[in-house]
Chains A and B, each alone.
Chain A
Amino acid sequence: MIAALVAEYRKFFSTRLWWILAIVMVAYLAFIAGVFGFSLTVDTGADAQASNFLSPKEIAQSIYALTSPIGYVFPLIIGSLAVTSEFRHKTVTGSLLVEPRRSMLVVAKLVSSIPMGLAYGVLATVTVVAAGAPVLELVGDGAFLGDGDVIETLVLSVVVMALWTMMGVAFGTVLTNQVAAIVVVLAFTQLIEPIARVALGAFDATSEVSKYLPGAAADALLGSSFFSSFGGEGGGTDLLPQWGGAIVMVTYILVLAVVGRLTTFRRDIG
């Protein structure tokens, strides 16, 4: 198992992907955190809606928790690429020649994605804080960086990013076509899930379902929802309890990984 994990790290760090995606993620999150920092703190009159609902501390927490709801596309893509690039470049052949036990390959990819996800999570969270805190401090009512609740939000952000990375790996085992996987991840995170959460959350009958969407589960685990903070009415304000969010996320990961193991990873590699 240790050999399999070392191999996964070598695969990951032997191409340029990891630092290119890290740079893009940092740039994107810094921009978004800065923008939201300004929009929530600078009083522009009519638009300053959220700041009427939220205390300065809650504003700070909302900004810091942006890592997952805005940035989750990155760990998903990084995780899925760990699997799909093996199929795209047919390196899976070599991987299975040195380790024919296919469950071992799937498990090694899942396990090795945890520290990688944590690392990206730390990087992403530090970025959001670095971009958001000065704005909150200078323009708003404080950065609240020493506050216990804020620290909890930051730690959970990192954990959630690791879970997203694992989910990306698990998703990649199901959909091994790299282009298709990226398109689906982008479409789902940028379009389908945000719309689904608002649309499903708008009706009592379906709002229950929206809680179980992966993004909603991540928000529940974080204890802060981008949609509930900024979405206004009908923004899917119902969330699962924190432990429920964790269970739903882990369930997604396990179900996807098992499905991938029993479908793609059982097939002939040709």
Chain B
Amino acid sequence: MTSPAITVDRLTKRFGAVTAVDDLSFTVAPGRVTGFLGPNGSGKTTTLRMLLGLMQPTSGQAIVGERAYRDIRRPAQLVGAALEASSFHPGRTGLGHLRTLAPQVGVKDARCHEVLELVGLSGAKKRRVGGYSMGMRQRLGLATALLGDPSIIILDEPANGLDPQGIAWLRGLLRALAADGRTVLVSSHVLAEVQQSVDDVVVIGGGRLIHASTLLEFEELASRDVVVRTTDYQAVETLVRERGWSFDAQLDHHVVHDVAAAEIGAALFAAGLEVHQLADHGADLEAVFLRLTESSDAPTTQFTGSASAAPAAPPAPAAPPVDGTVAPPPPPAPPTTGGVA
């Protein structure tokens, strides 16, 4: 089963003087889970609403499969979407909500029961949505999205309001959907929520594309931290300085940046130091995410990007490629770039 992909092409949306989405282009590969990331107010929801035909783009286009959403016949059988957890009539039951949509989705009532079972709401389906918890509403939203057995699934902040078990369950569901060959686009403002379930990431900030790549390429942007605990902190510090590694000295341990744990371990062993802990904390993606998106929100502050992994950002006007550590602040006049390179 090959699902069609999503294509966002030079999409722009202005609300009066505010440009919510600014010349945004990216694609979503079929059969994969793509995380659509950005801080609150970065234009994620507006982008998704344009994608789903609820908002009219100021310019550009959004294609789902082969055509714009509004031109798809019985779209809910191709694209399932859950936009916000509050768009239910509080006086309707969970089942009643799905039954109001089923005729136009083009499915029988039995399917409503099926998806409720799938999201674990069978026991609550005869209760009114007004009494649902936030997590239950999210599940009902997911059930709504899955009603038409779509090959493309678009979820806006589905992890909001879910407890840790719920988030773990959601991860499993997203992976299972992708394993079926479905395309999943899932937005979040918290990277950690989706980090373990996405294959690709699209990061936006201030309505512009900041980064688009696979998760693996994204991880290369991150610094890797290794925690070292020993008995002799002085000796470790000397050793780390000798090697020219960057590190932070904490009260009872050191954090070494961007060096493989094995290499550190070997050096400590060679120096005959007693080691109590050597822990690779992996790539701190959240830090990369924050760094990328912060700079997009405040274009006049400095960029601290690593230049190597130049993302598929749009050609940012007048943004000098940033190399090394700290770039000079851009000239004050134009609101520049989302192109942290």
Residues of A in contact with B (beta carbons under 8 Å apart) = 2-4, 6-7, 10-11, 14-17, 85, 89-91, 93-101, 268-270
Contact = CB atoms under 8 A, between A and B. Distances in A.
Contacts of B53: 96, 100
A89 B103 contact: no
Contacts of B93: 14
B103 A10 contact: yes
A98 B49 contact: no
Contacts of A4: 103-104
A7 B101 contact: yes
Most buried by A among B46, B52, B106: B52
Contacts of B92: 14-15
B87 A270 contact: no
Given A96-B53, A98-B76, A270-B55, A89 B104 contact: no
Contact of A268 (B55, B72, B89, B103): B55
B150 to A, nearest CB: 11
Given A3-B103, A100-B69, A269-B55, A91 B87 contact: yes
Contacts of B175: none
B81 interface: yes
Contacts of A94: 87, 100-101, 144
A239 to B, nearest CB: 40
Given A14-B99, A98-B75, A269-B55, A91 B88 contact: yes
B86 interface: yes
Given A10-B96, A96-B53, A100-B72, A15 B89 contact: yes
Contacts of A96: 53-54
Contacts of B144: 94
A142 B75 CA distance: 60
Contacts of A99: 104
Interface of B: 45-46, 49, 52-56, 69-70, 72, 75-76, 81, 83-84, 86-93, 96-97, 99-106, 144
Contacts of A89: 87-90
Q: Top 10 closest A-B pairs, CB basis?
A: A14-B96, A90-B87, A98-B104, A268-B55, A3-B103, A15-B91, A6-B103, A269-B54, A100-B70, A10-B100
Given A3-B104, A10-B103, A99-B104, A85 B87 contact: no
Contacts of B81: 97
Contacts of B72: 100
Nearest to B83: A93
Contacts of A3: 103-104, 106
Contact of A269 (B49, B75, B96): B49
Contacts of B49: 268-270
A90 B129 CA distance: 14
Contacts of A6: 103
Nearest to B77: A98
Given A89-B88, A95-B104, 8 more contacts: A7-B101, A90-B86, A93-B87, A94-B100, A98-B75, A99-B104, A268-B49, A268-B54
B55 A7 contact: no
Contacts of B45: 270
A4 B76 CA distance: 14
A98 B75 CA distance: 6
B104 A11 contact: no
Contact of B105 (A15, A91, A98, A100): A98
B109 to A, nearest CB: 10
A76 B45 CA distance: 35
A16 B92 CA distance: 8
Contacts of B75: 97-98, 100
A182 B101 CA distance: 26
Contacts of B99: 10, 14
A254 to B, nearest CB: 24
A268 B57 CA distance: 9
Contacts of A10: 96, 99-100, 102-103
Contacts of A93: 54, 83-84, 87
Contacts of A91: 87-89, 100
A178 to B, nearest CB: 12
A46 to B, nearest CB: 50
B307 to A, nearest CB: 37
Contacts of A270: 45-46, 49, 54-55
A7 B104 contact: yes
Nearest to A7: B103
Nearest to A88: B89
B91 A16 contact: yes
A100 B55 CA distance: 11
A15 B96 CA distance: 9
Given A89-B90, A97-B75, A14 B100 contact: yes
Contacts of B86: 90
A89 B129 CA distance: 11
Contacts of A85: 89
A96 B101 CA distance: 10
B237 to A, nearest CB: 55
A10 B90 CA distance: 15
Given A85-B89, A90-B87, A98 B101 contact: yes
Nearest to B70: A100
A11 B100 contact: yes
